[in-house]
């Protein structure tokens, strides 16, 4: 297969990729177009996740590229960003699943686990043998997780007892393991645990009635004296700062997914503008339609430039919290504008699922909010600018 640059990458950022990275991206794109795109609208409408895509995406490297224990070849953070973008431009729900499996589950174990834990769990997650989830957010603790975490962990000899509740946990209705963050009752510090979901006292209940990312299986989790062996405590997760290290990485990945979501809506709008006839010609020939498309492409191009640079900084070892926070808040805001303009271009057809743009429009709302709200990311960047923390 020959690598074909995306028409929406007008400045050619894909040219930064190596030939091997381009080949891997081409294989992924081919699978997404042939096997994923045809089924995602139906899954979204039924609020079902297409579990049949999990193993094929694993074989294509979607969960393994970032980790020394599992990556098939040396690759760049820019390439890994384009992987997230490619998936999101087809379906944001599948991209979110991958983000949880790869960025949050694998990323937490890679970042805060011991070498023994990395060797045990990363290959199983990367191969799709098991599915992971990430439990930080709680019913009464979202943005204030650093201080407001209520889930507790109490050590009892060689085991820990976990008690509490989590909310909005993606993949959690069918995950085999969930990373649970809990406050140690002995020292008050936040610690991380690999919890096997068949443990007694662990319950996950699907959240119904969503209008965004409907295919993502978010759950409420309850933990009632769940026993976790010491060997499943993440050995290098000893404070909330360790959880924040993971979130810095995943915020950058979410930024890439935001660009992909905007691209998906834009590409649907361009195609529609060439086929929809009004006033005797295709609507793409009308000035106001072209204005919507040009503004959308401008947002995509500016956002792509930002995420490429943030990923380059990760490879250079210079990426900091404020860099990923700025990328997340900026790209998701531009995504939100873009999907709205693209939906507008469709007129009444823009609210019909079969035209795709309605799905991108709805899914953008969740991406705008998760992995750090606009407000929280603004305060992270503002703290860097002024040297003063404005957190309440």
pLDDT digits (tens, 9 = 90+) for 250-288: 888 999 999 999 999 999 999 999 999 999 999 999 999
Q: What is the pLDDT of residue 251?
A: 87
Write out the chain's pLDDT in tens, 392 residues. Answer: 789 999 999 999 999 999 999 999 999 999 999 999 999 999 999 999 999 999 999 999 999 999 999 999 999 999 999 999 999 999 999 999 999 999 999 999 999 999 999 999 999 999 999 999 999 999 988 777 777 889 999 999 999 999 999 999 999 999 999 999 999 999 999 999 999 999 999 999 999 999 999 999 999 999 999 999 999 999 999 988 888 888 888 888 999 999 999 999 999 999 999 999 999 999 999 999 999 999 999 999 999 999 999 999 999 999 999 999 999 999 999 999 999 999 999 999 999 999 999 999 999 999 999 988 899 999 999 999 999 999 86
Q: What is the pLDDT of residue 140?
A: 86
Q: Is 338 helix (H, G, I), strand (E, B) or coil?
A: helix
Question: What is the C-alpha separation between 14 and 3, in angstroms, rounded?
Answer: 10
Q: Which tokens go with 181?
A: 């963050």
Q: What is the pLDDT of residue 391?
A: 80
Parallel, antiparallel or unpaired: strands 152-156 and 177-184? parallel
Closest CA relative to residue 273, chosen from 337, 339, 347? 347
Q: Which tokens go with 373?
A: 């709200």
Burial of 68 (0-12, 13-18, 19+ CB in 10 A): exposed
Alpha helices in 127-204 (DSSP H): 145-148
Task: Provide the whole-model pTM.
Answer: 0.95
Q: What is the pLDDT of residue 28?
A: 97
Q: What is the pLDDT of residue 392?
A: 66
Instruction: Give Cα separations from 34 to 26, 89, 268, 390 (angstroms).
Output: 12, 14, 17, 48
Closest CA relative to residue 112, chosen from 208, 219, 274, 240? 240
SS3 content of the chain, % helix, strand, coil (to 5): 55, 15, 30
Q: What is the pLDDT of residue 240?
A: 87
Contact 323, 343 (CB under 8 A): no
Question: What is the C-alpha separation between 334 and 263, in angstroms, rounded?
Answer: 11
């Amino acid at each position: 297969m020959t690598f074909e640059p995306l028409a929406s990458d007008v400045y050619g950022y894909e040219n930064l990729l190596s030939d091997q990275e381009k080949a891997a991206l081409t294989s992924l794109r081919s699978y997404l177009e042939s096997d994923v795109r045809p089924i995602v609208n139906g899954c979204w409408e039924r609020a079902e996740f297409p579990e049949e895509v999990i193993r094929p995406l694993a074989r294509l490297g979607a969960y393994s590229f970032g980790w020394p224990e599992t990556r098939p070849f040396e690759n760049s953070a820019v390439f890994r960003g384009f992987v997230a973008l490619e998936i999101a431009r087809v379906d944001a729900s599948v991209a979110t699943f991958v983000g949880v499996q790869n960025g949050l589950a694998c990323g937490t174990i890679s970042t805060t686990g011991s070498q023994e834990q990395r060797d045990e769990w990363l290959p199983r997650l990367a191969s799709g043998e098991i599915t992971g989830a990430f439990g930080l957010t709680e019913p009464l603790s979202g943005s204030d997780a650093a201080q407001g975490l209520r889930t507790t962990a109490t050590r009892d000899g060689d085991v820990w007892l976990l008690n509490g509740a989590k909310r909005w946990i993606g993949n959690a209705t069918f995950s085999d393991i969930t990373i649970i963050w809990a406050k140690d009752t002995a020292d008050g510090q936040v610690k991380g645990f690999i919890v096997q979901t068949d443990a007694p006292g662990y319950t996950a209940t699907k959240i119904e009635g969503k209008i965004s990312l409907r295919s993502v299986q978010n759950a409420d989790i309850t933990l009632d004296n769940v026993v976790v062996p010491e060997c499943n405590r993440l050995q290098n997760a000893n404070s909330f700062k360790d959880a924040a290290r993971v979130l810095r990485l995943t915020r950058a990945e979410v930024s890439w997914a935001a660009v992909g979501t905007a691209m998906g809506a834009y590409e649907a709008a361009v195609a529609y503008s060439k086929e929809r006839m009004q006033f005797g010609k295709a609507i793409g020939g009308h000035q106001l339609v072209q204005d919507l498309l040009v503004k959308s492409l401008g947002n995509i191009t500016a956002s792509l430039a930002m995420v490429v640079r943030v990923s380059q900084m990760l490879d250079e070892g210079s990426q900091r919290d404020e860099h990923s926070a700025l990328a997340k808040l900026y790209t998701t805001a531009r995504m939100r504008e873009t999907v709205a303009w693209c939906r507008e271009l469709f007129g009444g057809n823009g609210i019909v699922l079969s035209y795709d743009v309605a799905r991108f429009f709805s899914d953008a709302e969740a991406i705008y909010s998760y992995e750090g709200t606009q407000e929280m990311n603004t305060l992270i960047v503002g703290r860097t600018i002024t040297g003063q923390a404005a957190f309440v």
